[in-house]
Amino acid sequence: MKFTYQNATQIFFGQGQISKISDAIDSQSKVLFLYGGGSIKKNGVYEQTKQALTNHQWLEFSGVEANPTKETLDKAIDVCKQENIDFILAVGGGSVIDGAKYVAAGALYDGDAWDILIGKYTPETALPIGAILTIPATGSESNGNSVITKSETQQKMAFAAQCVLPVFAVMDPDVMKTLPEKQLANGVVDAFVHVCEQYITKNAGAMVQDGYSETLLRTLKSLGDSFNERDDAWRANLMLAANQALNGFIGSGVEQDWSTHMIGHELTALWHVDHARSLAIVQPSLLRNQIEHKRAKLEQMGRNVFALEQSDDLAESTIDAIEAFYNSLNVATQLTEHGDDKQGAIDAVVSRLEGLNYVSLSENGTVTPVEVRQILTNAVA
Ligand code: NZQ
Ligand code: ZN
């Protein structure tokens, strides 16, 4: 266990906290207020933000899509450059906040910002970002990750950089009241899989990280089980759990396996499957495929998260319990969006992963194109 960890995002958590941005953003800053398709105009978040920016000079840029595109975000970069923007306020979910990170780094770069995604440019400086979170799921509000899609080529790619870590994140659970149930269920599943990707690897005896991961998993499971009895406490607990699931701590000093995400991103790029739903499709099948590498951890999860009894097939039962949990939230674990051509769909995903050189995914490098084919054979309807 050896790691360096820092998470400097200031968190303003709780009802009414949006007003705190008035002081959190330097009053001399010229702010770009970045948001998505307009949900914030229906739940008062836009008005509250505007109110809090009364003493600031600001411009707005709307229309950042779910699964944000380079094409849209490049226009925001142009605005930053032309208008000498010096602070980006991202108001939305993972898509808007991820988009803000691309814009913040791209605004200080002379070339095509897509260079960041293809590894041609490594950003070490970016405009400062503040986030007002409207959907708990990704943890993007206090991490340095960003996932961007290039529509032209249907590529969905990720980058991570310390310089795009938001300086603050406002998490007011009240903003979730307007979220459609489907988006809320997505949030529970995405956060659950984030913990799994950092937890279901080798059993390395990391008691603190494992214990905290199990607390988060049990919390998310219990929130899923009480989905129909949502109240203020339910929303606050989900918002905090999703944040802690991917703020870097539980993954510190332990092996991680992001192969469910890497394969899932291709389902989103090709068939626009919601991010969380892509994970629910891939993960149970991937775990069954990799069960021998992950047996000890699956057994531990079965005991400590799902309260299952010790048995010879405890790891198998744990995967069944994970799958049943997603299904209980009306989140499917089979891909149907691809139409009738199952073989064509599998070939497309495998060849795209090969194109990205993702040919030995997982903590062991054992998720090869042969395994991906097997995983998808069981995950595609
Ligand atoms: O655009 P608007 O109108 O705001 O509508 C959004 C959007 O359509 C709507 N919404 C958000 N807050 C709402 C609301 N509707 C009503 N009331 C509210 N309070 O919800 C829709 C989905 O929003 P989106 O931001 O796309 O959802 P999410 O937070 O799940 O973000 C998904 C994106 O994050 C990436 C995913 O790949 C995907 O592109 N990820 C980012 C990660 C990170 N930065 O660490 C990790 C994740 O694994 C993930 O890959
Ligand atoms: Zn995710």
pLDDT digits (tens, 9 = 90+) for 297-314: 999 999 999 999 999 999
Is the CB–ligand 1 distance for residue 142 below 6 Å?
no
Flag whether 5 is in a domain: no
pTM over 0.95: yes
143 and 82 inside one domain: yes
Pocket test for ligand 1, best of 33, 70, 98 (most atoms within 8 A of CB): 98
pLDDT at 281: 98
Neighbours of 203 (CB within 10 A): 15
C-alpha 102/C-alpha 376 separation (Å) is: 31
Taking each continuous run of H as one helix and of E as one strand, the counts in the chain are: 14, 8
Is 128:87 a contact under the CB 8 Å cutoff? Answer: yes
133 C-alpha to ligand 1 centroid (Å)? 9
Is the CB–ligand 1 distance for residue 183 below 6 Å?
yes
Domain final residue, candidates 174, 207, 235: 174
Give CB contacts under 8 A, 24+ apart, made by 16-19: 16/172, 17/170, 17/171, 17/172, 18/45, 18/48, 18/49, 18/52, 18/132, 18/170, 18/172, 19/48, 19/51, 19/52
The residues pairing with 150 across neighbouring beta strands, listed in sequence order, are 155
pLDDT at 12: 98
3-state SS, residue 147:
strand
164 and 187 inside one domain: no
**Atom 21, ligand 1: residue with shortest CA distance:** 66
Is the CB–ligand 1 distance for residue 44 below 6 Å?
no
Which atom of ligand 1 is least distant from the CA of 146?
A: 44
115 and 201 inside one domain: no
246 and 317 inside one domain: yes
Which CATH number do you get for residue 51? 3.40.50.1970
Distances (CA, A) of 240 to 200, 207, 229: 21, 21, 18
Flag whether 1 is in a domain: no
**Atom 17, ligand 1: residue with shortest CA distance:** 179
The residues pairing with 171 across neighbouring beta strands, listed in sequence order, are 13
275 and 311 inside one domain: yes
pLDDT at 79: 98
pLDDT at 116: 98
Domain final residue, candidates 146, 174, 202: 174
Which atom of ligand 1 is least distant from the CA of 194?
A: 48
Which residues does the chain have with pLDDT short of 50? none
pLDDT at 381: 96
Task: Note down the domain range covering 186.
Answer: 181-379
Output the six-digit token pair for 133. 């979170």
Pocket test for ligand 1, best of 18, 42, 138 (most atoms within 8 A of CB): 138
Flag whether 2 is in a domain: no
Which atom of ligand 1 is least distant from the CA of 190?
A: 48
The residues pairing with 215 across neighbouring beta strands, listed in sequence order, are none
What is the total count of domains within the chain? 2
Provide the sign of the torsion angle of the four alpha carbons 212, 217, 222, 223, taken in this order: positive
Q: What are phi and psi of 11, to 5 degrees?
A: -105, 125
231 C-alpha to ligand 2 centroid (Å)? 25
56 and 203 inside one domain: no
Indicate the angle between helix axes 342-355 and 259-271, nearest 10 degrees: 120
302 and 363 inside one domain: yes
pLDDT at 89: 98
pLDDT at 54: 97
Q: Cite the DSSP H helix spans in the chain.
A: 21-24, 45-52, 70-83, 94-106, 114-117, 181-199, 207-225, 232-245, 259-271, 275-289, 291-304, 314-328, 342-355, 369-379
Which CATH number do you get for residue 335? 1.20.1090.10
Look up tokens 């990205």; give the residue: 356
125 and 193 inside one domain: no
